[in-house]
Every structure is written in C-alpha cells, then in structure tokens.
Structure 1
C-alpha cells in the first residue's frame, strides 16, 4: 500500500514540477539593469499570435502601437512587430498579451528584429504595480 501511495505522489510531484510559474509582482521591479534592452516602451497591443498546438499556448508574435518611448529608437504612434524570443523556458510561463491592453515592454533587437523575452517581466497597465514599476524603470534608465 505504501508503494502505491508513493508512486501516486511521485506522478503528481513530477507533473507539478513541469508546470510553468507566472512572475511574482512585488514592490520592486525585478530588472534593474536595462543595458541588454534596445527599446523600453509603453505600448498598446493590436494583435497577438499564440501557438495553440503547444502546451500553455506560447506567444509567437504581436503587433503593438508605441504610446511612450522610454529608451531606444522607437517613436510614439509607431506600429511595431515583435517576435517571442526562442529560449529555454526554465519553468517560466510563456508571455500572453491581451489585445487592446497596454503594457510596459522591454525589447531586444536581434539582427534588426524586435524580440521579447519571457524573462523581461512585461506588466499590464491595470496591474497595481504598473505606475511604480514605470517610475522605477525610468529612474533606472535616468529619465525623469
């Protein structure tokens, strides 16, 4: 009986270990070094494509309208196309963006193409920490 219970527990534990984890939003924004990001913006998502054939429907790409430039060459009202960076997930959930919602985004350029990492902690404007994170990011990039 103990062996059966142990086997059942192992099955549940191994299934849980493969589950992805959403980022925890605390008082401090988790990124403080922005040198690896070519563009930091606030943008409204126009369209968002996800791969529904894979577990967790990972983000493939999205189109967005830039509302505010914090760092980089992008300009307000510019419409951009961004691809999801291909990376080892390390148990972090893939990104998911709601169309017509506004987000703080940290983007990278790879061979001229804008990409977003699942580890860049994008945050939707309706999150209670959005304004604080936006201020922290601007201070970290030395914009006042």
Structure 2
C-alpha cells in the first residue's frame, strides 16, 4: 500500500473534522464537485470516522425538523411557478383542442373538405389522385382566403 492514498485519506479526515484552513477547504470543496475519485476518498474517510462523529441526540426530532422544512420549500417554488403551472396542465390542452374541434365541426369545414375529397376520388380523369387532391386543396384554400 502506498503512502499517498493514506495521506490523502488523512487530508479528507481533517476536512471532515473541520481542522483545515479556509483555502484548503475551498480547494477540497471544488474537488468534490468535479472529481469522482475525490468523492470516493471522501466517502471512505467519512466511514472511517463514523465512530468519532456525533449523532443527533434526538433522531426523531431531527428528522421531523427536516421534514417540516420540505413543504415550505415546495410552497415557495409553487408560488414562483404558479402562473405557468396551469398553462402546462394537460387538461387545459385537451379543452382547447376539443373546443377547436367542435368549432370546426360546427362550421361545416370538415364536411366541405370531405365532400371535395370524395368527388376527387370518384373522378375517372387521367390525372393522378395526388394531383386531384392538390388541386382541390388549393381551390379550397383559395376559397377560404376570400
């Protein structure tokens, strides 16, 4: 076993204990954010110090305090995003789509399009079906623009 990993482990133990200067702590903080190897060494140092580290005196009260803080955080996020949350709801999109469909059905737009399409399909011209569909669609669009 080499000496360097042991020195590194001891450095992380000092970091956990809080006995390093602020510059070294800042360097190790930055290292934890970008290096997976540093995280592994930190975890090993943390588990080796498990018996030394204090545990919460009243673990249930500690957990309750954490849980009580969670809804406050969630509520503050809801307040900031409440304006956009209803616009992204799927039910609103369904209602808009259903309303537009009902308006188009009520105006007879689909019936008119279906009639022209049926006429095109039943013609015995020499032109292809796609050409006839294109002509009917452009005629329908031109009539709609007026």
Higher relative contact order (CA 8 A, sep 6+): 1
TM-score bucket (shorter structure): under 0.3
Higher strand share: 1
Higher helix share: 2
| TM-score in terms of structure 1 length | 0.23
